[in-house]
Amino acid sequence: MSGIFGRTAKPNKPSVAKQNAARKVTCGQVMQKPRVLSSTVTMDRVLTTLTSRDWDHLFLVDDFGIPVGRIHAVDMLKLIQRKRVNRDLAWMQSVEASQLISQPPMQVSSRTPLLKAAALMITHDINQMAVVDHEGALIGVVSHAIVARHLPKFIL
């Protein structure tokens, strides 16, 4: 089939070497430092940390560094709106942040291929994923931004 100028269009496909290289990039190679607080802190501490550091999420970990949950700023806002009574937020100083967690966070090993982590994030509609070591302790985080930063060089 001829192109606009009479030339045959060639599909712009990545080479087999690039495809294989993309499969070898692991989460441990590209992860970022996680944003972490202890699961025993109060909701007030979580809110203060999120706002003072301009974070959109953080992970809660137990005494061994194992992730027990992930809190997103939007989740905090929704909870505050539901619990608000005459704008009194004193209850936040006595409630542990772990009570906001309904299930453990999605996590991958540091040896997990980044492509697999990207597929999991898309499948489960999450923006960040915990990266854990062989003992299950939180050591990093991967996100859509990390995928976008590292994989295009193998695809294009």
Write down the pLDDT at residue 109.
Answer: 97
Asked, for residue 3, whether it belongs to a domain, the answer is no
Q: Is the pLDDT of residue 11 over 60?
A: no
- Tell me the pTM: 0.78
List pLDDT tens digits, range 94-114.
788 888 787 889 999 999 999
Asked, for residue 36, whether it belongs to a domain, the answer is yes
Write down the pLDDT at residue 21.
Answer: 72
Alpha helices by DSSP H, listed for the chain, are: 16-24, 27-30, 43-52, 73-83, 114-124, 144-150, 152-155
Q: Is the pLDDT of residue 118 over 90?
A: yes
| 106 phi, psi to nearest 5 deg | -65, 135
Mean pLDDT computed over 66-77: 89
Max mean pLDDT among 80-89, 99-108, 128-137 falls in 128-137
Asked, for residue 101, whether it belongs to a domain, the answer is yes
More confident residue, 33 or 94: 33
Asked, for residue 105, whether it belongs to a domain, the answer is yes
Total number of domains constituting the chain? 1
State how far Cα 129 lies from the chain centre. 3
Mean pLDDT computed over 67-77: 89
% of residues, the chain, pLDDT over 70: 80
The CATH number of the domain holding residue 36 is 3.10.580.10
Asked, for residue 5, whether it belongs to a domain, the answer is no
Strands across the sheet containing 128-132: 107-109, 128-132, 138-143
Asked, for residue 123, whether it belongs to a domain, the answer is yes
**From CA 38, how far away is CA 122, in angstroms rounded?**
28
Q: Is the pLDDT of residue 73 over 80?
A: yes
Model confidence at 45, pLDDT cuts 50, 70, 90, reads very high
Write down the pLDDT at residue 50.
Answer: 93
Which domain covers residue 77, as residue numbers? 16-155
Asked, for residue 1, whether it belongs to a domain, the answer is no
Asked, for residue 8, whether it belongs to a domain, the answer is no
Instruction: Copy the structure tokens of residue 56.
Output: 């959109």
Average pLDDT, the chain: 85
% of residues, the chain, pLDDT over 90: 56
